[in-house]
Each structure stands twice: as C-alpha cells, then as structure tokens.
Structure 1
Amino acid sequence: MVTEAEGLKKGEKVEVSSEEEGLRGSWYTATVLRPVTKKTKKIYVEYHTLMSEEDDSKPLRESVDAILVRPYPPREVGRRFKLMEEVDAFYSDGWWEGVVTQVLENSRYSVFFRTSREQIDFHQVDLRLHREWVRGNWVPPLEESQS
C-alpha cells in the first residue's frame, strides 16, 4: 500500500500527530529530514517547537510512522471565526482541535477543547480553520462544505 506521505520530500514543512496519551488530537510543525522508507514506513523529522530531552537547546528529531504525517495546511490570514466553528488553536507548542464557544472583543475567541475539557481564550492569529487531510486534499469542516 502506498501512503500519501511517500510523496513528501526532504526539507518539506509538515505536521506530525502524536499517539501519546495526553497529546492525541494535536499536530506539531516539523521539517522532513529523511523521506519515508518503503521498508519501515517511517519519516525522520525535526520539530520546530519541540525540543530534545537530552539537550533542550536543540530541536527534537525522531522517526515517526508515515501515517502520522501530513503536509503543512493552508493558512487564511485575517479570517474571522464564527460561533461553534471548528478551529485549531496554537497551544503548548502544537495545534489542538477545538470549537469556538464565544466571539470576544479585539479579535479574541474562546475555544473549548473536547479532549481536555478546557476552555481557553485566544487571539485570532493563534487560530486556524480546522481541516483534515483526506486522500490528498484539505477538507474544511462539514458545516462549511454544506453552505
């Protein structure tokens, strides 16, 4: 079986998901250092925001399962978000899926995270429309695609 990650090239900016407890549903920006190998189905990446445990002045580098890697998603600069819209919020070094529960003043939004049951306020620049990478295409939330 050919994975979509097999098309990713060295130097390409990507996002990596984690299967670790407490980190599921989050995505971390990284750069491909070594593309996927057919034998192991792993990609060697260097994270932009996660640091090495051995030397916290150096970015974390690791081999990850190709299934956990996707291209870096498009950004819509200056986008205004709506109540109950699905977003990704940049928090704790990664992008976390949440829902806008309040539209506040000064381009701020309150976001609820289902996984942690937390509600946190964010500035517009720390939010993006939640999108899924499906069969080689970015798919917006169901609500937007139906309008």
Structure 2
Amino acid sequence: MEKLINEIDSIVMETQQITKQFQKGDEVEVTSHKLGFVGSYYEATIVSIEDANHYRVKYKTLLTDDQSAPLEELVPIGHVRPVSSHQLGTTSENRFRQYDKVDVFSSDGWWFGFISGIIEENYYVHFPTTGQEVAYPSHALRFHQEWSNDDWEA
C-alpha cells in the first residue's frame, strides 16, 4: 500500500514528460496544478502555440465565468498531453480490480484515483487529492495512463 501511495503522489503532481510538439487544431488533455484541480485532466483543442513554453487551448467542457463560451487559457507545455488511448468501461477480459489506478469522468473532466472497493456493479474510487471515496459505474471509468517519452505507460 505504501508503494501505491508514493506512486499516486508522483502522478498527481508530476509534469508530463512531453517531447511531442502539438499543432493548432490537435485534440489534447490538459492537467492543472491549481488548488481544486490537482489530479484532473480536461479535453481541449490547441488554439495556438504562444511561445516555446506555452500553448493556448480551448476546453471542450469548461466554460467562461459567464458560461457564454468555451474557456480559452494559456497553459504550460508540460501540462498538455495527447488524448488518452484508453477506452471507457470494461469487457469480460478487461475488468477493473481493487487498487487499479483509474480516471473517472466527473465534473467536466477526468479525475485521477484508484479503486478502493467493488460492490456489485459499483466501483468505489478513492481520490487522493481530496480524500473522498465515491461509487461509479464502469462506464464512467478508464484505466489511468501517463504520457512519457512519446508513449503511454500504465
């Protein structure tokens, strides 16, 4: 369990190892280290390359304060990764197990956690950044992956 806790800490606060250069129009996921958003990824599109260290992105699910348009934001290159290759849900050969690292689609984005229990069709997910544990059906989950050296790592 201690190994899992150390691994979770490094995932939540790590900047992705990005060597891929994205282009205008590329679909991506963006993480944040802002309070309240740590451990989350939001789907976005690259609007422009601002400089050597930043992209301007337009989020697909986050809106401006007045809710009138998709939010656009300048983000560090290390907070942007390709859209995850994992599929939602489970199949007979691909079931979630206790302690699996997962992402849950909730509150307009993907939130990192791990399976802390399974009761019937519900997967209880512990979120290390908030200490909460919430039940979700399998269709709201995907296996967590990290993007490193131009490849996905489970």
Return the TM-score normalized by structure 2.
Answer: 0.80
**Post-superposition shift, 1:129?**
0.4
Structure 1 pair 137–109 and aligned structure 2 pair: CA distance change class (3 A): same
**Bigger RCO of structures 1 and 2 (CA < 8 A, at least 6 apart):** 2
Q: Alignment partner of 2:97: what SS?
A: coil
Separation in 1 of the partners of 2:105 and 2:45?
Answer: 18
Separation in 1 of the partners of 2:114 and 2:61?
Answer: 23
Separation in 1 of the partners of 2:84 and 2:33?
Answer: 20
TM alignment of 1:26-65, pairs within 5 A: 26-35=40-49, 37-38=51-52, 41-53=53-65, 55-65=66-76
- 99, 104, 110: which is aligned to 1:89? 104
Aligned Cα RMSD in Å? 1.7
Which residue of 1 is the match for residue 126 of structure 2?
Answer: 112
Percent identity at matched positions? 36
Gaps of 5+ in 1: 141-147
Off by >3 Å, runs of 4+ in structure 1: 3-6
Q: Which deviates the most, 93-102 or 77-86? A: 77-86
Structure 1 pair 94–77 and aligned structure 2 pair: CA distance change class (3 A): closer
Deviations 1:8-60 (A, max 9, x none): 1211110111121121111111011113532xx1101100111001x303110
Aligned length: 134
Which residue of 2 is the match for residue 70 of structure 1?
Answer: 81
Gaps of 5+ in 2: 1-16
Check whether the contact 2:89–2:141 (CA below 8 A) recurs between aligned residues.
no
Give 2:29's aligned amino acid: E
Return the TM-score normalized by structure 1.
Answer: 0.83
